[in-house]
Chain A
Amino acid sequence: MSPQRLPARPGEVIDRRRPLSFTWNGRALSGFAGDTIVSALAASGCRVFSRSMKYHRPRGILTADYWDPNTLVQVGDEPNVRGGHRLLEAHMAASAQNAWPSLRWDAKTLTALGGRALSAGFYYKTFMRPRWLWPTYEKVLARFAPGGVIDPESAPRRHDKRYAHPDVVVAGGGPAGLAAAAAAGQAGAAVMLVEHEHAVGGHLRWDGASGRAAASELAEAARAAGVEILTDATVAGRWEDNWLAIVERAAGGGPERLIKARAKVLVVAAGLIERPYVFAGNDRPGVMLSQGARRLANLWAVRPGSRAVVFSANAAGDAAAADLEAAGVAVEHVDARTGRTVTAAEGRRNALERVVLSDGSRLEADLLVTAAGWTAPTSLLNMAGVRPCYDPTAARFFPAEPGVSEAGAVLSTGGISGDGTLEAHVSHGEATGRLAAARAATLAHRLRVATAWAAPVNGPEPPLVPDERTPLGRHRHPALFCSSTDGMVDFSEDVSSRDLRNAAAEGFDSVELVKRWTTATMGSAQGKLETVNTVAVLAEATGSTISEVGTTTWRPPFAPVTLGALAGRPFEPVRVSSLHDLHVAAGMAPISAGQWIRPEHYGEPQAEVRNVRANVGIIDVSPLGKLDIQGPDATDLLSLLYLNKWRRLAVGSVRYGVMCAEDGVILDDGVTGRLGEDHYLMSTTSSGAGAVEVWIQNWLQTEHPDWRVRVTPVTDAFTSINVAGPRSRTLLERLTDDVDLSPEAFKYMQVRRGTVAGVASCVMWRIGFTGELSYELHVPAGHGPHVWSALLAAGGDLGVAPFGLEAQRVMRLEKGHFIVGQDTDALTKAPTAGLEWLIKLDKEDFCGLPELRWALDGEPGGAPEALQRLVAVQPTDPAYVPPEACQIVAAGPGGTERIIGRITSSRYSPTLERSICLAQVEADHPGAGTQLTVVDVSGRRHRATVMADHAHFDPEGGRLRG
C-alpha cells in the first residue's frame, strides 16, 4: 500500500483489483483503475506537481479536478494534460511541465528572485526598447514559454463530429441537473445531459452514504426517462438559437468528439465552483480547497496530509473537516464565521509547516484546507445574454434574470441559481425540467410547422409556459476574498493581489483592462477560480463595490477545447468520373482539379501530344460542366448570357460562347449545342460549372421568373470523352453506325445524337480544343467505361492511346486557346482576350453589354478603353520556358523598369519543338514582332517576341476542320 492510500472506503471509485503501473518523471509508480493521474501521484506521496508559469514556484494540488491550475502535466507526447481529471492508464508516462532540469531543482526558479520587477506589464515595459533588439528578446523569451512539449512527429489523433437535435440539453449532472433531465425526459422530451466529470452526481459523489444514494437514485431516474447521458463532456459554447458545441473527451476509448447540438431548450445546471482564499503563501503545496480534499479522501482514498488546518466559512468546509478526521487526519478547525482568518501559510522548500492566523496564532500543519466561498460558473448563461449580478449577502454572483432569456429557451437550476437543501435543489431541478420540456414542445411545434412538410402538424401551437418555479433561496455567506496579506489570485498566470493593486494604481481601473494588462483569468482555469477574487481585489483597490466593478465578459469556450476537436473529422468531397478505375489501371498520374481527381498524364505527356497530332488520342473530359436547357424561352436565355447571337443557330449545330459578368469581365466560356427547337446542351468550363449554374438561376429567379425555361445540371449524367487526332474519324466510324461521320455530313461545329459502341443516346459534338479533328462524345455515364474500353480496343491499329490533362493543355496552347481563370483574371474584359468578333453590340441586351460598349466604343467622342491584350509569345531561346506568372517589363523613366504584363500560360511544345506562351500585356505592346523582356523568378531577363496570332500551330485551322 502506498504511503497516503487509505484503506478501502465506501464510495471510492478506484478498483483495487486492477493496479496500474505508470511513471512520473521516469520513476516507476503504481495506482489503480479509477485513479486520476493526480490521485495516483498523491497516493504515492507526491506533493509537488508543477512549477508556476512565471516565477516557477512549486505547486501542489489545489482542486484535484479538471480546473486545477497546478496539476497540468505532460503525458507521453501530449502536453498540458489536466492531471486532476485525466484517468490513469497502464504504462502511462507522465512528467512535470515548466521545470528544468527537474521538478525538484528547477533552475528557472531564479526568475522569482526578480519577482518584484516581474510584475504585470514587465514585458511590455522592458522589451519595447531598443526596438532592434526585439528578435533577440523574442528568442530568449521563447525559452521561458510555459507549458508542455509538442512532438511534431506524433501520430495524428482521431477526432470526430456528430450532430444532435435534443429537445433539452442539461449542462451539468449534479442533483439539480439530474432531476431536471429526468423530469424533462418523463415529460416526453428528448434529453441530453452533459456532465463535465467522469460520473454524474456532482458533489453527492463525495458527500457520504446518503448523498451517494441520492445521486444513484437520480441517475437511475434519468436513465429510466431515456436521457442520453454524456460524461467527461462539456458544453463548451452556446450561440444563437441554442446552437451548442459539446466536447466529448475521448470517452469510452473512442475519439474526442465535437457534438454540434441544436437544442430547443438549454438548462444550465453547472453547479458551483469553490474559490480560493487570497493570503501570503496560498499557493504553497499543502494548501488546497475543501472540495479537493474531500475528493481525494472520499473518491480515491487518498490522505491529503497528516495534520490539517481547515479554514471554513460554510458547511462544505465543515464537512471537509469531518471527512479528514474520518480519514485519520488530525484537524484544527478555524471557523471563518467567527471572524478568524488565515494570513499566511509558511514552511520551507516545497512543504507547508505552519499556518498563521489573523489573531497572530501559529498552527503546525502540513495541510491547509480552505472553504472561503463559491463562484457561480454562469458562462453559458452569459453567452445567452444574461449578465451576472453580485449579491453581497451570499457573496457570489447570480444570473441577473434566472430563467428569462431568449424567449425562455435558456433556463438555470441548481447551485448556480440559488441555495437550499438537497430536496430543494431536486425540486427546483424537476420544475425546471418540466418547464424545459413544455417550452421545447412549443418550440418544436414552430419548427415542424416551418420545416417538416412531410406530415401534417396537428393542432395549434402550445402556449409558451410561463416560469412559475419557486425560486431557490440565497444563504448568507461571509464575504471572504482576500486576507490582510498578499497572495496568489490567478494560479495559472502567476498574478497576485499585489499585481492587481499595482495595475489599479497605474490606472487600469476597469476589470476588462486589468484582465488584459495582468492576464488574470486568462489561464487554463479560464476564470473559474480567479474571477471573483480578481474583481474583489480590484474593487478594494479602486474603492468600488464588487457590483460596480462587475465581471469580465465570458465567451466560448467554457472549457479549453483541443484544436483537433474543433477541426473534427474533415470532410473534403472528392469527385471522380466513371472512368476513374480505368485511369488508375492505366497508370495515371492524378491531379486535383478543384474537387475532381483527373489524370494529368499516363507516363509521358509529350509523347501523348505527339500521338494525338499523329494518330488519335482519347481524353476523359467528364468534369466539363453540362447544363440541359429546355423550354420555349431557352434561346432568350442564351442570348442574355452570351455575348454573341443564338437565334439563328440551327438544330444540329453548336456554337462557342463567352459569358461576362455585368462589369464585362469574362465569367466563363464553352460551346452549346442545339439538340431541338427548344432544347440545348450547354457546356461550361470544369471549374466554372457550379458558378455558371448559380449565375443562370440567379437571372432566371430574379430577373426573368416569367421565362419558360428549365435548366438542369447534367455534368454527371454523361461521361465525356474527347476523341482527337487525324485518325479520330476512322476510329469512330468503327463504333458508330447510325451517324454519318463524313466531313460533308457532320461538319465542324455540329452536333449529332447517336449510338457509340452499342450505347444509344450519346451526344457527339464536332469541336476541337486541341486543334485537331476531334469529336466530343457525351455518353450516359453508366456506360462510360464500356465506351472508353471499346475505343481503345477498336483503335489499336490506329495508335489510339489515352492522354491526360497536361497533354491537352499543351495542345490547346499550341492552338492558342485561352483558359478562363488562367489566361484571364478578375479584371479581364472580353476584348482583352481578343473576343471583339464575338461581342454583338447590336443585340438588344446581354450581360455586360453597357460595360463592353463603353470598353469598345468609349464615351461619346472618346477613345476605347486601354485594356490589356492577350497575345501569343515565343521566347527567343526556344528551350527556355518561362514559369507562368512571370512578369513582363519595359523601360521606365530614369532607367527604371515597369511591369507591363505577365506570362499567363507557358509550355514546351513537342510539336513545334520550342517554348510557347500566352501573355497579357499593356495595350500599346501587342503588335506582332514586338520584343518583350520577361523576368523570371530569379530576376534574370529573357527576350521574347509577340506573335501575329494566338495560335502557334495551324493558325488556319485546317486540321480542325478537316
Chain B
Amino acid sequence: MAEGPELAGPLTGGEASGAGWRLSDESATPKLLAYESFEAAGAVQRHLGVGFGAAATNGAGALVCGVRPDEWLLLGERTGSLPGVTGVVTVDLTHGLALFRLSGPAAPEVLAAVCSIDTAEAMFPDGAVCGASVARVACSLVRNDVAGERSYLMVSPRSSGRYLFESVRDAGARQPPDRAPSAPARPGTAPPN
C-alpha cells in the first residue's frame, strides 16, 4: 500500500520573495536521520563520506548533512541503506521536520535579521552545516548553493515551521533596499562638497 493519499508541507505551496531573496517551502522532501553505528565506530561516516558540520550530495542525489558528530540528516532520502554497516539506527523524519530554502544574493542579509550565524564565505561556505537559532527556533542550517546562487536550507521542527517561514519572510520584507549589500551608500553618508 502506498504510504498515504497526500503529503502536505506545513505551508503547502509556500513561496515568498523580495529584492534579491526568495523563500520556498521544501518540507515535502524526504528526510532521514542516521546515527553512527553501535558496532563499528566511524563506519557510517566512512560510508557517507561527510563529517560533522559539512554537507555533500551522495550518489543517490540526497544531500547528506553532518548535523551532529554522530548524526547525519539525509535530505532527499527516507529509507537509508547502508550496506555492510551494522548497528545503525535510522529514523524517517520526513513528516517531523520542516524544510525551507532561502536563496538569492540578499539571502545573507535576510538571514542576518533572524540568525546570529556568521555567513561570511570563509566561515560558512557552500556545504557548511551548523545548528542555529533562527528567529528563536532551533534549526539545522545548511549552505546549499544552487547553480552558483547563495542558498540556505533551514530545517526545523515541523510544528514551528509556519512561524519560522513567516518570520523569515517578514525579515525579508523589512530589508530596506538601501541596506542591501550591493546597493550604493545612502544619501547623507557623504560629507558635503
Residues of A within 8 A of B (CB): 11-13, 160-165, 190, 195, 198-201, 204-205, 212-213, 215-216, 219, 223, 228-229, 231-232, 251-255, 260, 262, 299, 444, 447-448, 451-455, 569, 571-578, 580, 595-596, 622-623, 628, 630-632, 708, 710, 712-718, 755, 757-761, 780-783, 785-786
Residue of A nearest to B33 (CB): A712
A231 and B188 form a contact (CB under 8 A): yes
B128 and A717 form a contact (CB under 8 A): no
A575 and B190 form a contact (CB under 8 A): no
Chain B contact residues: helix, strand, loop or mixed: loop
A760 and B163 form a contact (CB under 8 A): no
Alpha-carbon gap, A631 to B178, bound state (A): 54
A–B pairs, 17, beta carbons within 8 Å: A163-B115, A163-B116, A164-B112, A165-B118, A165-B119, A199-B188, A199-B190, A231-B188, A262-B116, A452-B123, A454-B124, A573-B136, A714-B93, A716-B96, A717-B93, A759-B5, A782-B9
Closest beta carbon of chain A to B55's beta carbon, Å? 7
B192 and A571 form a contact (CB under 8 A): no
Contacts of B186 in A (CB 8 A): 231, 251-252
Residue of A nearest to B37 (CB): A708
A572 and B136 form a contact (CB under 8 A): yes
Interface residues on B, range: 35 or more
Alpha-carbon gap, A195 to B93, bound state (A): 48
A447 and B6 form a contact (CB under 8 A): no
B123 and A716 form a contact (CB under 8 A): no
B159 and A454 form a contact (CB under 8 A): no
Closest beta carbon of chain B to A581's beta carbon, Å? 10
Contacts of B93 in A (CB 8 A): 712, 714, 717
B158 and A215 form a contact (CB under 8 A): no
**Which residues 72-105 of B sit at the A interface, judged by CB distance below 8 A?**
87, 89, 91-97
| 8 Å CB contact of B158 from A232, A455, A717, A785 | A717
Known: A451-B130, A575-B160, A580-B162. 14 other contacts (CB 8 A): A163-B116, A199-B188, A216-B193, A228-B181, A231-B186, A252-B176, A451-B123, A573-B136, A575-B159, A632-B38, A716-B96, A761-B3, A782-B7, A782-B28
B95 and A454 form a contact (CB under 8 A): no
Residue of A nearest to B55 (CB): A454
Which 5 interchain pairs have the tightest Cβ spacing? A717-B96, A453-B53, A201-B191, A454-B128, A215-B191
With an 8 A cutoff between CB atoms, is B48 at the interface?
no
Contacts of B167 in A (CB 8 A): 571
A-B CB pair tally, cutoff 8 Å: 208
With an 8 A cutoff between CB atoms, is B18 at the interface?
no
Residue of B nearest to A12 (CB): B192
Chain A contact residues: helix, strand, loop or mixed: mixed
Alpha-carbon gap, A631 to B37, bound state (A): 11
- 1/0 contact string of B125-145 vs chain A (CB within 8 Å): 111111000011100000100
B178 and A13 form a contact (CB under 8 A): no
Once A219-B189, A252-B176, A254-B179 are accepted as A-B contacts, the answer to whether A455 and B157 lie under 8 Å apart by CB is no
Alpha-carbon gap, A262 to B118, bound state (A): 9
B95 and A717 form a contact (CB under 8 A): yes
A714 and B127 form a contact (CB under 8 A): no
Alpha-carbon gap, A452 to B51, bound state (A): 12
A760 and B1 form a contact (CB under 8 A): yes
Residue of B nearest to A571 (CB): B136
B158 and A260 form a contact (CB under 8 A): no
Once A212-B193, A216-B193, A229-B185 are accepted as A-B contacts, the answer to whether A163 and B112 lie under 8 Å apart by CB is yes
Once A199-B189, A578-B8, A781-B158 are accepted as A-B contacts, the answer to whether A454 and B179 lie under 8 Å apart by CB is no
| 8 Å CB contact of A715 from B89, B123, B128, B159 | B159
Contacts of B189 in A (CB 8 A): 195, 199-200, 219, 229, 231
Alpha-carbon gap, A755 to B118, bound state (A): 46
B176 and A575 form a contact (CB under 8 A): no
Residue of A nearest to B193 (CB): A216
A573 and B163 form a contact (CB under 8 A): yes
Closest beta carbon of chain B to A77's beta carbon, Å? 23
Alpha-carbon gap, A260 to B178, bound state (A): 19
B159 and A577 form a contact (CB under 8 A): yes
Closest beta carbon of chain B to A834's beta carbon, Å? 33
B113 and A223 form a contact (CB under 8 A): no
Contacts of B35 in A (CB 8 A): 710
Once A453-B51, A573-B136, A578-B10 are accepted as A-B contacts, the answer to whether A190 and B38 lie under 8 Å apart by CB is no
Closest beta carbon of chain A to B179's beta carbon, Å? 7
Residue of B nearest to A160 (CB): B174
Alpha-carbon gap, A229 to B89, bound state (A): 51
A216 and B190 form a contact (CB under 8 A): yes
With an 8 A cutoff between CB atoms, is B4 at the interface?
yes
Contacts of A577 in B (CB 8 A): 159
Contacts of B123 in A (CB 8 A): 165, 444, 447-448, 451-452
Once A571-B114, A571-B167, A578-B8 are accepted as A-B contacts, the answer to whether A455 and B159 lie under 8 Å apart by CB is no
Residue of A nearest to B130 (CB): A451
Closest beta carbon of chain A to B6's beta carbon, Å? 6
With an 8 A cutoff between CB atoms, is B54 at the interface?
yes
Contacts of A630 in B (CB 8 A): 89, 91
Closest beta carbon of chain B to A457's beta carbon, Å? 9
B95 and A782 form a contact (CB under 8 A): yes
Residue of B nearest to A452 (CB): B123
Alpha-carbon gap, A755 to B126, bound state (A): 41
Residue of A nearest to B120 (CB): A165
Closest beta carbon of chain B to A710's beta carbon, Å? 4
